[in-house]
């Protein structure tokens, strides 16, 4: 319940504030979204496992986004930004996939 | 491999498990912190909304840039066409003035003739007369819809056709309304063929003025014809040679900026 309210509040805030991402940060936005999705699916799975902790969720969300952006930034500086982006996407993608698969198993017992 | 296995086995953040154990061992109650959750999911919402709003904006920026570029290209082509018309008009004017001046001189007619011949050979001024048309087309697209490099008409093919026509006695040549002058280059950039630095698109129509019977025959027997038959046999490039009683070729542009005639006395 609180989670849904938080999400709705965030969406409303995003719509009202109409934040436009500065050009410098734009390459990191897709990575940030994937990292957020990873934290989100992890959180949902933890809820279903009855191990959810809001502290862990919030910390993992923020640190995931920051670390993912940092890795890509580092890659850009080293000239391997595209490759490191791919690496981050692959790792987070696998995690999202397995987490969603676990949620599916818990939900449908299949 | 080890890394990927590890990743799949521990896809859930280990933090949740650690936190659960800590709570269990310390006997803490399962209390949650609503404010933290609210802030965390609020951030997620802001992020997603921002991105969702950003994507269409980016797309519209890109398409607007493209439209602006197309518009600029159209404008520039238009002004180029206008400038070319100006050049043609001025050239005609110069010609008539020269003719008028030469009329009064002794041997004026001969000089006029010589000058006109030279200008035509240089590719200046529209010319018309009988000749042949060599049309070149890429090979038929196969089942995959892709064209191999050997199946395309290349700059080399056009250059060989032009060379073959000159050597068969052509007096003036154009490719798709681009007149071939002594300063013309035929080259390829990516998949586009440039003649006189202007892009030309298939099908390529090479027009040549000359004795229609002899020109077509000599071209077909000469190096140009051999080249085309080889290109047809190897890549399936299609070509067609037709004679015409009346062809009109556009004026070319061969103005010199640096080369100066040295007086020979």
Q: What is the pLDDT of residues A21-76, one digit of tens each?
A: 777 777 788 888 898 889 888 888 888 888 888 888 888 888 888 888 888 888 88
Q: Which of B7, B15, B51 sits opposite A95 (nearest CB)?
A: B7
Are A14 and B49 an interchain contact pair (Cβ–Cβ within 8 Å)? yes
Q: Does the reported pTM lie above 0.90?
A: no
Q: Which of B5, B28, B34, B40 is the best residue to mutate to test the A interface, defined by the most A CB atoms within 10 Å of its own CB?
A: B40
pLDDT confidence band for B48 (50 / 70 / 90): confident
What is the DSSP secondary-structure string of A39-107?
HHHHHHHHHHTT---HHHHHHHHHHHHHHHHHHHHHHHHHT-HHHHHHHHHHHHHHHHHHHHHHHHHHH
Q: What percent of chain B has pLDDT over 70?
A: 95
Query: What confidence score (pLDDT) does residue B75 get?
Result: 92
Tell me the β-bridge partners of B240. Answer: B135
CB contact under 8 A, A45 and B12: yes
Tokens 């805030």 sit on residue: A13
Report the C-alpha gap between A16 and B3 in whole angstroms. 43
Nearest CA in chain A to B12: A42
pLDDT band at residue B205 under the 50/70/90 scheme = very high
Among B119, B41, B43, smallest CA distance to A3 is for B41
pLDDT at B162 over 90: yes
Which pair of structure tokens corresponds to residue B227?
A: 């080249």
Distance CA B182, CA B97 (A): 25
Q: How far is CA B28 from the centre of its chain?
A: 74
Q: Rounded to 5 degrees, what are φ and ψ at B263?
A: -65, 130
Per-residue pLDDT tens digits for B209-258? 998 888 888 998 889 899 999 988 888 888 989 998 899 998 887 777 88
**Interface residue of A37, A48, A58, A62 to substitute, partner B, most B CBs within 10 Å:** A58
- B31 pLDDT more than 70: no
Q: Which residues contact B208 (CB under 8 A, 6 or more apart)?
A: B131, B132, B133, B134, B165, B170, B171, B172, B173, B215, B219, B247
User: What sign for the dihedral angle of Cα B208, B211, B215, B216?
Assistant: positive
ipTM confidence score: 0.79
Tokens of B62: 């890109």
Beta strands in B97-161 (DSSP E): 127-137
- Residue B95: pLDDT band with limits 50, 70, 90: confident
Q: What is the mean pLDDT of chain B?
A: 84
Share of chain A above pLDDT 90, in %: 2
The predicted pLDDT at position A46 comes to 86
pLDDT band at B30 (very low <50, low <70, confident <90, very high): low
């Amino acid at each position: 319940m609180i989670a849904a309210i938080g999400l709705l509040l965030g969406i409303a805030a995003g719509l009202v504030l109409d934040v436009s991402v500065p050009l410098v940060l734009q390459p990191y936005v897709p990575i940030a979204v994937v990292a957020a999705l990873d934290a989100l699916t992890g959180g949902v799975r933890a809820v279903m496992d009855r191990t959810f902790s809001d502290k862990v969720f919030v910390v993992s969300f923020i640190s995931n986004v920051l670390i993912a952006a940092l890795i890509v930034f580092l890659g850009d500086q080293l000239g391997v930004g595209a490759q490191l982006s791919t690496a981050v996407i692959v790792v987070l993608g696998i995690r999202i996939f397995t987490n969603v698969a676990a949620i599916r198993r818990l939900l449908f017992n299949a | 491999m080890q890394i990927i296995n590890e990743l799949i086995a521990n896809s859930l953040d280990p933090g949740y498990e650690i936190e659960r154990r800590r709570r269990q061992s310390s006997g803490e109650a399962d209390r949650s912190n609503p404010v933290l959750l609210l802030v965390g999911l609020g951030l997620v919402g802001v992020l997603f909304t921002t991105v969702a709003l950003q994507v269409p904006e980016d797309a519209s920026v890109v398409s607007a840039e493209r439209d602006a570029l197309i518009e600029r290209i159209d404008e520039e082509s238009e002004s180029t066409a206008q400038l070319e018309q100006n050049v043609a008009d001025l050239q005609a004017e110069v010609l008539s003035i020269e003719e008028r001046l030469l009329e009064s001189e002794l041997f004026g007619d001969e000089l006029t003739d010589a000058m006109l011949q030279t200008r035509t050979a240089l590719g200046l001024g529209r010319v018309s007369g009988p000749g042949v048309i060599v049309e070149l087309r890429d090979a038929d697209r196969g089942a995959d819809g892709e064209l191999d490099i050997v199946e395309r008409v290349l700059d080399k093919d056009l250059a060989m056709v032009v060379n073959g026509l000159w050597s068969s006695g052509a007096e003036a040549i154009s490719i798709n309304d681009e007149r071939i002058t002594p300063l013309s280059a035929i080259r390829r950039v990516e998949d586009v063929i440039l003649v006189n630095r202007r892009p030309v698109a298939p099908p390529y129509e090479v027009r040549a003025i000359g004795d229609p019977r002899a020109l077509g025959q000599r071209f077909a027997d000469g190096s140009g014809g051999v080249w085309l038959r080889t290109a047809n046999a190897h890549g399936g490039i299609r070509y067609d040679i037709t004679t015409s009683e009346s062809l009109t070729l556009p004026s070319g542009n061969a103005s010199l900026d640096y080369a100066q005639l040295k007086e020979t006395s």
